[in-house]
């Protein structure tokens, strides 16, 4: 191998590292994108021709390696603890008072933006990036090194030959998030709810090439074990991270008093929407490491830091119209059509109005300027009207007397607030029933989003759930924006769903009053759909948690001739109608903290999904309830826990965070 080839490879790597740092960390590019790409392509070509020259820290590694089979577990040498929360000025002053009581009045605080992303740990040996991991449960995370290498602001080689472990927040910029969701909507897929979920989902892709396409970024905010660096404070640590080539957030400030901290926070409440990335609060840390050591830790968080959480963001926009939607049970729901407005990280064009009574109660008129917020930063809703902005041109809204889809007369059942269409042939109900059938908690058919279902229904390729299992690849490729590969994947996903356990099918069928939990109870009890079809009301109500209304609804459903025909068709098409999950748990046989206890989950969980947590608690003999009462034994509070947390405190219910839950689940 000519010496000049090796020299050229080293020259290209050096240039690309420099240009990458200038562009992604300093935001000061010195070359054009075309020149960067040309150099990178030359490096990739030379490394492919000379494989022995490839190195782990080469810029070529950022394009994504081979797909992984599974993420390996990583034990953190220094635990990644969560922070205690503050929600108002009083909480912040209480934090300051506790700090000063412990270390005296000579204290400084570093304030940093709380990036809404995924906490990660990065480990370097002799200046080279060797491992990156998720936070996990704080003690054990997952090795996502290959995916993290695709984030161009993470240095693969430091400016100094240091061995160090740092912590940071990987996130998806707003621009990348909006582009990704537009792409998902075009494909008929469910968009991500917020940039944080998008970032977490991207970094947990088993194929690094997919992660590379998501354009993630990172801010590094701390050193795992700063005592080995010889520095004396957190602010010095951040300066050191800058020197080593990491990207830190330059909006950090150091203050000597809590009132200055509060003023800093107030400024960011207003300036937050102008950032290119999402933040959900401000982190306040005692600057001195000596004072941090003196303050120490609780079992779950440091006493020297607190996270101030922003209140739910509220914005003002104009209500253009009210659209009516007919659900799978026939309920007609009004939805506000808004002038597009950004709230809590996403552009909102629609918001829930729930029902006619709420519209009357809040005196909402067409053309009003309304206040919109996201409940728990997820569901947009109209919370009020700006009466002072009325011009007199606003118009009252009246709910229709007939179904907007099929024209049938709308009724109120048993003095319900909701108006309902009871025509079983209503196209909207059939379409919504199909969407429910393929949803994640039901048959979970990946790739069958609302847009694709609507297309299939409009083209008269499906009229009931059995028709889904008759679809062919040839029919699918005829649909707009459906290629050969997408059609093949969809046919495979439909086929895979045939193997689901009975409870998924029961929930998907949309039997009135039967939710996911009741579907599982019925499936465990009767084991096959044929036995359930023959059950009487008396047999059903004898089962714990099955009441009169649900029992009558189940019996009535399976008496319908069209349902008898549908079940026969599904069986003929190879859909499993037998329960294949774990047997019902006998609480008396389980040695578990959860056995016999009633548990409520609230807020956003970081590590487990809500369903995963629910399933694991139930496997250990617990009962997961949707509401807090005096009979609740335990509340698991994730981020943005709301009224359920207040109710738990009121009833004296024991409260755990997610870390504590995982510790107990892993016993």
Do 21 and 245 touch, CB atoms closer than 8 A? yes
pLDDT score at 513: 86
The conformation of residue 311, written as its DSSP 8-state character, comes to P
Q: Residue 584 — very low, low, confident or very high, per pLDDT cuts 50/70/90?
A: low
Task: Give dist(CA 575, CA 465) in Å, integer.
Answer: 11
Q: Which residues pair with 220 in a beta bridge?
A: 168
List C-alpha distances in Å: 50 to 7, 13, 46, 156, 623: 13, 15, 6, 21, 60
The whole-chain average pLDDT of the chain stands at 87
**Sheet containing 634-637, strands listed edge to edge, beginning at the edge strand earlier in sequence:** 623-625, 598-602, 634-637, 654-656
Prediction pTM value: 0.54
The confidence band for 33, taking pLDDT boundaries of 50, 70 and 90, is low
Given a contact cutoff of 8 angstroms between Cβ atoms, the answer to whether 373 and 313 are in contact is yes
**pLDDT at residue 270 tops 60:** yes
CA 651/CA 633 separation, integer angstroms: 10
Where is pLDDT greater, at 193 or 326? 326
- pLDDT category at 498 given cuts 50, 70, 90 is very high
Residue 204 has pLDDT above 90, yes or no: no
Please say if the pLDDT value at position 64 is more than 70.
no
Is a pLDDT exceeding 80 seen at residue 300? no
Report the alpha-carbon distance of residue 59 to residue 44 in Å, rounded: 9
What pLDDT does 436 receive? 92
Burial letters 101-123, b for 16+ CB under 10 A, else e:
eebeeebbbbbbbbbbbbbbbbb
Query: Within its chain, how far is the Cα of 227 from the centroid?
Result: 35
Report how far residue 19's alpha carbon sits from residue 33's, in angstroms, rounded to the nearest whole number. 10
Angle subtended by helix axes 427-438 and 450-458, to nearest 10: 140
CB 147 within 8 A of CB 63: no
Q: What's phi and psi for 266, nearest 5 deg? A: -60, -40
How confident is residue 181, by pLDDT bands cut at 50, 70 and 90?
confident
Residue 337 dihedral angles phi and psi, to the nearest 5°: -100, 120
User: In sequence order, what DSSP letters do the residues of 49-111 get, joined into one string?
Assistant: H-GGG--TT-GGGGG--SPPSSPPEEE-SS-----EEE-SHHHHHHHHHHHHHHH-S---EEE
DSSP string, 464-515: SHHHHTT--HHHHTTSTT--HHHHHHHHHHHHHHTT--HHHHHHHHT-TT--
Q: Using one digit for the tens of pLDDT, what is the confidence trace for 206-228? A: 778 888 888 899 999 999 988 78
Confidence band (pLDDT; 50, 70, 90) for 614? confident
pLDDT of the residue at 589:
64
- What's the rounded mean pLDDT across residues 585-611? 79
pLDDT in tens, 135-167: 887 788 889 998 999 999 999 999 999 899 999
Within 8 A by CB and 6+ apart from 270, the residues are none
Mean pLDDT of 25-51: 77
pLDDT given at position 87 = 84
More confident residue, 477 or 608: 477
Check if the beta carbon of residue 305 is closer than 8 Å to that of residue 80: no
If pLDDT is split at 50, 70 and 90, which confidence band does 355 have?
A: confident
pLDDT value at 375 more than 80: no
CA atoms within 13 A on the CB side of 424: 7
Q: Which residue has the tokens 């007199």?
A: 392
What is the pLDDT, as a whole number, of residue 299?
65
pLDDT of residue 572: 96
The listed range with the strongest mean pLDDT (182-186, 218-222, 517-521, 631-635) is 218-222
Q: At what angle do helices 3-24 and 33-49 cross, to 10 degrees?
A: 140
The mean per-residue pLDDT over the stretch 170-176 comes to 92
Q: Edge-to-edge strands of the sheet including 253-255? A: 84-86, 305-309, 279-286, 109-115, 253-255
Per-residue pLDDT averaged across 291-304, rounded? 87
pLDDT at position 69: 63
Q: Which value, in Å, is the radius of gyration of the alpha carbons in the chain?
A: 28
pLDDT at 378 over 60: no
Q: What beta strand segments (E) does 183-278 contain?
A: 217-223, 253-255
Q: Is the pLDDT of residue 643 over 60?
A: yes
Which residues have a Cβ under 8 Å from the Cβ of 645 and sit 6 or more positions away? 602, 603, 635, 637, 655
Burial environment of residue 425 by CB neighbours within 10 A (0 to 12, 13 to 18, 19 or more): exposed
Q: What is the pLDDT of residues 446-467, one digit of tens each?
A: 888 888 998 999 899 999 999 9
How far apart, in whole angstroms, are the C-alpha atoms of residue 79 and residue 167?
11
Average pLDDT over residues 20-45: 75
**pLDDT of amino acid 424:** 81
Question: Of all helices (H) and strands (E), which one includes residue 271?
Answer: helix 258-271
Residue 657 backbone dihedrals phi, psi, to 5 degrees: -95, 180
End-to-end distance of the chain based on CA atoms, in angstroms? 56
Which range is least confidently modeled, 130-134, 245-249, 573-577, 593-597?
Answer: 593-597
Q: What is the pLDDT of residue 345?
A: 60
By the 10 Å C-beta count (0-12 exposed, 13-18 middle, 19+ buried), 370 is classed as: buried
CA–CA distance, 491 with 487 (Å, rounded to integer): 6
Distances in whole angstroms, Cα of residue 59 to Cα of each of 54, 55, 64, 151, 290: 10, 9, 11, 11, 39
CA atoms within 13 A on the CB side of 362: 21
pLDDT at 1 over 60: no
Q: Residue 587's pLDDT is what?
A: 56
What is the C-alpha to C-alpha distance for residues 479 and 460, in angstroms, rounded to an integer? 12
Domains observed in the chain: 3-63 (1.10.287.610), 84-309 (3.30.470.30), 314-413 (2.40.50.140), 427-572 (1.10.150.20), 587-665 (3.40.50.10190)
Please check the confidence at residue 389 and state whether its pLDDT lies above 60.
yes
Per-residue pLDDT tens over the stretch 543-582? 877 888 899 999 999 999 999 999 999 999 999 999 998 7
Active site residues: 114
Q: Which pairing describes strands 331-343 and 346-352: parallel, antiparallel, or unpaired?
A: antiparallel
Is the model's pLDDT at 328 over the cut of 70? yes
pLDDT value at position 379?
66
Q: What b/e sequence results for 288-318 when a residue is b if at least 16 CB atoms lie within 10 Å of its CB, and e otherwise?
A: bbebbeebeeeebbbbbbbbbbbeebebebe
Give residue 187's pLDDT: 66
Residue 415: the pLDDT is 64
| Model pLDDT, residue 528 | 95
Query: Please, how many CA atoms are within 13 Å of residue 22, restricted to the half-sphere of its CB?
Result: 13
Query: Average pLDDT in the 659-663 region?
Result: 87
Neighbours of 569 (CB within 10 A): 16
Compare 405 and 586 and report the one with higher pLDDT: 405
Q: What is the mean pLDDT of residues 101-111?
A: 95
């Amino acid at each position: 191998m000519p010496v000049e080839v090796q020299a050229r490879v080293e020259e290209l790597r050096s240039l690309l590292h420099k240009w990458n740092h200038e562009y992604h960390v300093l935001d000061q590019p010195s070359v054009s994108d075309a020149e960067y790409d040309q150099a990178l392509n030359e490096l990739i070509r030379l490394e492919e021709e000379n494989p022995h020259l490839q190195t782990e820290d080469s810029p070529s590694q950022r394009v994504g390696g081979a797909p992984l089979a599974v993420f390996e577990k990583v034990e953190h040498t220094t635990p990644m603890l969560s922070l205690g929360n503050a929600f108002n000025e009083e909480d912040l002053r209480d934090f300051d008072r506790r700090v000063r009581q412990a270390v005296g009045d000579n204290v400084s605080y570093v304030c940093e933006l709380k990036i809404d992303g995924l906490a990660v740990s990065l480990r370097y040996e002799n200046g080279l990036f060797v491992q990156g991991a998720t936070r996990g449960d704080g003690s054990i995370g997952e090795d996502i090194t290959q995916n993290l290498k695709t984030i161009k602001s993470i240095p693969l080689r430091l400016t100094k030959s240091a061995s160090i472990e740092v912590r940071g927040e990987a996130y998806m910029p707003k621009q990348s998030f909006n582009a990704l969701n537009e792409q998902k909507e075009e494909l008929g897929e469910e968009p991500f709810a917020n940039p944080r979920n998008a970032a977490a989902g991207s970094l947990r892709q088993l194929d690094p090439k997919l992660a590379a396409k998501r354009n993630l970024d990172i801010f590094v905010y701390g050193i795992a074990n700063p005592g080995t660096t010889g520095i004396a404070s957190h602010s010095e640590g951040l300066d050191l991270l800058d020197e080593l080539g990491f990207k830190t957030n330059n909006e950090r400030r150091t203050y000597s008093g809590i009132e200055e901290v509060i003023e800093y926070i107030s400024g960011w409440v207003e300036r937050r929407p102008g950032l290119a990335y999402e933040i959900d609060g401000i982190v306040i840390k005692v600057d001195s490491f000596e004072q941090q050591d003196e303050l120490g830790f609780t079992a779950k968080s440091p006493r020297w830091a607190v996270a101030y959480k922003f209140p739910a963001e509220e914005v003002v926009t104009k209500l253009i119209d009210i659209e009516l939607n007919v659900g799978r049970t026939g309920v007609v729901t009004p939805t506000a059509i808004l002038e597009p407005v950004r709230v809590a990280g996403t552009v909102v064009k629609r918001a829930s109005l729930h029902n006619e009574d709420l519209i009357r109660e809040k005196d909402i008129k067409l053309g009003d300027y309304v206040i919109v917020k996201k409940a728990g930063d997820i569901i947009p809703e109209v919370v009020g009207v700006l009466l002072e902005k009325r011009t007199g041109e606003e118009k009252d809204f009246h709910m229709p007397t007939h179904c907007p889809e099929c024209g049938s007369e709308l009724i109120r059942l048993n003095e319900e607030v909701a108006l309902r269409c009871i025509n079983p042939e209503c196209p909207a109900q059939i379409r919504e029933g199909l969407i429910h059938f393929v949803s994640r908690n039901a048959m979970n058919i990946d790739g069958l989003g609302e847009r694709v279902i609507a297309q299939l229904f409009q083209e008269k390729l499906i009229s009931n759930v059995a028709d889904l299992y008759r679809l062919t690849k040839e029919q699918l490729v005829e649909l707009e924006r459906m290629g050969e590969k997408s059609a093949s994947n969809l046919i495979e996903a439909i086929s895979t769903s045939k193997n689901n356990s009975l409870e998924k099918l029961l929930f998907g069928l949309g039997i009135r009053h039967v939710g996911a939990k009741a579907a599982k109870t019925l499936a465990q009890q009767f084991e096959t759909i044929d036995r359930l079809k023959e059950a009487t009301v008396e047999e059903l109500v004898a089962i714990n948690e099955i009441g009169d209304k649900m029992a009558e609804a189940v019996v009535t459903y399976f008496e319908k001739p069209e349902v008898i025909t549908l079940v026969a068709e599904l069986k003929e098409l190879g859909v499993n109608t037998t329960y294949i999950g774990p047997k019902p748990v006998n609480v008396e046989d389980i040695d578990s903290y959860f056995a016999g206890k009633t548990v409520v989950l609230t807020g956003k969980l970081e590590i487990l999904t809500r369903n995963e947590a629910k399933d694991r608690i139930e496997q250990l003999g617990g009962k997961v309830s949707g509401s807090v009462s005096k009979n609740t034994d335990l509340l698991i509070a994730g981020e943005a826990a709301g009224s359920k947390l207040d109710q738990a405190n009121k009833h004296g219910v024991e409260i755990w965070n997610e870390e504590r839950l995982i510790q107990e689940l892993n016993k």
